[in-house]
Amino acid sequence: MKDANEHLVTVEVRPNKKTQSLSWDVNQKVLTADLTSAPEKGKANKELLKMLKKVFRAEEVSIISGFTSRTKKVKIRTKNFQKILNTLAEEQ
């Protein structure tokens, strides 16, 4: 049985950026994550998970697929998912 607080989202990762940021594309339903880490030895994945956990105040965040790809499927367990997505979309 699926937990109502579990959400699956597509994340486009852009590593090697000067600053870290997160945005939500309402039309494409994709999160875009700018990361400062390089995409080597899992550094960018670790930074992504840490950032998503903090932004979504999530109990759990895990990569489901796309470990070595810039397009990832990520599971986020949080009660505030839609509210935070709306905030991210408004910030654009």
* pLDDT higher than 80, residue 46: yes
Per-domain boundaries in the chain: 6-77
* pLDDT higher than 80, residue 62: yes
Q: 6-77 has which fold? A: Conserved Hypothetical Protein Mth637; Chain: A; (3.30.1200)
The DSSP 8-state label assigned to residue 67 in this structure reads T
The DSSP 8-state label assigned to residue 75 in this structure reads E
pLDDT band at residue 1 under the 50/70/90 scheme = very low
pLDDT band at residue 92 under the 50/70/90 scheme = low
Tokens, residue 48? 């992504």
* pLDDT higher than 80, residue 91: no
